[in-house]
């Protein structure tokens, strides 16, 4: 039975006519899954996701399965990362902060320094799908919407693709939380972003978007059996020649595994290694920087392996090409080697429509890789990451692609959008 998370039908019938006319359409969540763009817009209209009077939510923040989060007006340099399990983020900042500064007109964040930046967005999630004490309201007297759902509403944040490709380590933090990125039912308050540039100094400004937020109605991760069944009818992974990967070549174990590609045509580039002690990158400057100023290309050779230097940052491409059907959303999870020596993939969300239709033959996933502590050997075809799939609650009104100016559709090995395309 569906529950009314704000007030029941009897209350509706007793509502004076002057309030009824101001009521917005019910927000109905009937099936489990990731909320698509049209539902996210309804949550914004209802005040469940909000900006501020000075910085309202903008139309181009919406992605097929997520909403971009924007940097606020101030940054705090703190001594260390933290989780505020028993207090607010601001209380932790007061204990750890060294100085603060405005970023409204732009400011530089230095490598390997920890910054906390309040975001412009806030959340007002219902405590559960069956219990709240008052309706969401856009004003003192207007009843704005009812949220009708069967499951709890939770949220999950992840860095945007460009953030990972620039080697910027980011995590969303909320008050009284014991986990990064995960936001529990009932959270009401501000969102904060921990930002640690790793390879390059970066210039940020109020409104820049380093992370994105998904909302879930319940939790419905697809099983390995479901993934294999879907791939058989609607291919998810493709060989380098664009043919669907044979079923017996698909590797699954609580997700769909993908591997690294170290085999390209002779003298072609198979990856990039970040240079150290480079000039800053201004996030306002798209298609602006020369690749050679910031990256060392790694060329193919006669060997099918490569030794990674400790703490160096690399960009590679997946061996397989992948696509995300429009009824699904995916998140890339770093593969746990069990040794703790290899970190792969900072950015996580893959929107519906990534890689196009079956006839488009998918797109490679870009892998952001760092070896910790010791040199680490990687080989062509070595398992590097896992794709976890979830259904969308509904098909999004639009999908990833050229129509919304997506930066990485049909990509191969590709650096972030701030660098000029190779000639």
Instruction: Please indicate, yes or no, whether residues 106 and 162 belong to a single structural domain of this protein.
Output: yes
Give the pLDDT score at 128. 62
Read off φ and ψ for residue 177, nearest 5 degrees: -100, 145
Instruction: Please indicate, yes or no, whether residues 195 and 238 belong to a single structural domain of this protein.
Output: no
Is residue 308 in a domain?
Answer: yes
Give the pLDDT score at 291. 95
Host domain of residue 54: 3-217
Instruction: Please indicate, yes or no, whether residues 213 and 279 belong to a single structural domain of this protein.
Output: no
Is residue 94 in a domain?
Answer: yes
Is residue 423 in a domain?
Answer: no
Instruction: Please indicate, yes or no, whether residues 252 and 374 belong to a single structural domain of this protein.
Output: yes
Angstrom distance (rounded) from CA 124 to CA 119: 14
For residue 354, CA distances in Å to 27, 358, 361, 363, 413 come to: 27, 11, 11, 8, 15
Domain boundary, last residue among 196, 217, 238 = 217
Give the pLDDT score at 126. 84
Give the pLDDT score at 134. 41
Give the pLDDT score at 191. 98
Instruction: Please indicate, yes or no, whether residues 112 and 258 belong to a single structural domain of this protein.
Output: no
For residue range 88-136, list pLDDT tens digits in order. Answer: 999 999 999 999 999 999 999 999 999 999 999 999 998 765 433 344 4
Angstrom distance (rounded) from CA 270 to CA 376: 17
In this prediction, the residues of the chain whose per-residue pLDDT falls under 70 are: 1-25, 128-145, 265-267, 335-347, 401-412, 423
Domain boundary, last residue among 217, 243, 259 = 217
Is residue 126 in a domain?
Answer: yes
Interacting residues of 399 by C-beta distance below 8 A, sequence separation 6+: 64, 326, 351, 352, 353
Give the pLDDT score at 338. 62
Angstrom distance (rounded) from CA 204 to CA 192: 15
Instruction: Please indicate, yes or no, whether residues 298 and 202 belong to a single structural domain of this protein.
Output: no
Is residue 420 in a domain?
Answer: no
Give the pLDDT score at 147. 76
Domain boundary, last residue among 188, 217, 246 = 217
Instruction: Please indicate, yes or no, whether residues 390 and 272 belong to a single structural domain of this protein.
Output: yes
Give the pLDDT score at 411. 59
Instruction: Please indicate, yes or no, whether residues 74 and 140 belong to a single structural domain of this protein.
Output: yes
Give the pLDDT score at 318. 92
* Cβ contact 98:79 at 8 Å: yes
Is residue 418 in a domain?
Answer: no
- List the CATH number of the domain containing 304: 2.70.40.10
Is residue 417 in a domain?
Answer: no
Total number of domains constituting the chain = 2
Instruction: Please indicate, yes or no, whether residues 72 and 106 belong to a single structural domain of this protein.
Output: yes
Instruction: Please indicate, yes or no, whether residues 274 and 156 belong to a single structural domain of this protein.
Output: no
Beta bridge partners of 75: 101
Angstrom distance (rounded) from CA 407 to CA 8: 44
For residue range 340-397, list pLDDT tens digits in order. Answer: 566 665 558 899 999 999 999 999 999 999 888 889 999 999 888 889 999 999 999 9
Instruction: Please indicate, yes or no, whether residues 213 and 232 belong to a single structural domain of this protein.
Output: no
Instruction: Please indicate, yes or no, whether residues 69 and 177 belong to a single structural domain of this protein.
Output: yes
Is residue 333 in a domain?
Answer: yes
């Amino acid at each position: 039975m569906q529950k009314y998370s704000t007030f029941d039908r009897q209350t509706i019938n007793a509502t004076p006519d002057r309030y009824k006319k101001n009521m917005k359409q019910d927000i109905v969540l009937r099936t489990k899954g990731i909320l698509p763009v049209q539902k996210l817009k309804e949550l914004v209209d209802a005040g469940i996701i909000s900006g501020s009077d000075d910085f309202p939510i903008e139309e181009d923040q919406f992605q097929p399965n997520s909403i971009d989060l924007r940097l606020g007006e101030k940054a705090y340099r703190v001594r260390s990362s933290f989780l505020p399990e028993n207090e607010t983020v601001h209380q932790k900042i007061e204990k750890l902060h060294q100085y603060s500064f405005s970023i409204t007109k732009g400011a530089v964040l230095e490598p390997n320094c920890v910054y906390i930046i309040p975001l412009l967005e806030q959340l007002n999630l219902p405590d559960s799908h069956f219990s709240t004490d008052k309706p969401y309201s856009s004003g003192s007297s207007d009843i704005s919407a009812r949220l009708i759902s069967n499951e709890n509403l939770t949220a999950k944040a992840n860095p945007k693709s460009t953030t990972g490709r620039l080697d910027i380590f980011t995590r969303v933090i909320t008050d009284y939380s014991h986990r990064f990125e995960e936001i529990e039912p009932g959270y009401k308050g501000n969102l904060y972003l921990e930002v640690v540039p790793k390879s390059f100094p970066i210039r940020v400004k109020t409104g820049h978007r380093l992370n994105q937020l998904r909302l879930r109605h319940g939790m419905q991760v697809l099983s390995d059996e479901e993934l294999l069944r879907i791939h058989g009818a609607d291919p998810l992974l493709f060989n380098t020649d664009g043919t669907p990967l044979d079923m017996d070549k698909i590797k699954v174990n609580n997700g769909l595994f993908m591997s690294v590609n170290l085999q390209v045509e002779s003298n072609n580039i198979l990856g990039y290694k970040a240079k150290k002690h480079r000039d800053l990158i201004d996030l306002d400057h798209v298609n602006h920087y020369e690749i050679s100023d910031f990256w060392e290309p790694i060329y193919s050779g006669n060997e099918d392996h490569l030794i990674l230097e400790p703490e160096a940052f690399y960009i590679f491409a997946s061996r397989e090409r992948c696509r995300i059907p429009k009824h699904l959303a995916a998140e890339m999870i770093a593969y746990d080697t069990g040794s703790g020596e290899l970190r792969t993939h900072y950015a996580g969300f893959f929107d519906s429509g990534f890689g196009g239709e079956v006839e488009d033959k998918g797109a490679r996933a870009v892998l952001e890789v760092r070896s910790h502590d010791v040199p680490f050997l990687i080989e062509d075809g070595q398992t590097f990451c896992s794709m976890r799939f979830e259904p969308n609650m509904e098909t999004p009104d639009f999908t990833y692609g050229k129509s919304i100016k997506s930066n990485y559709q049909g990509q191969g090995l590709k650096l972030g959008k701030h660098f000029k395309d190779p000639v």
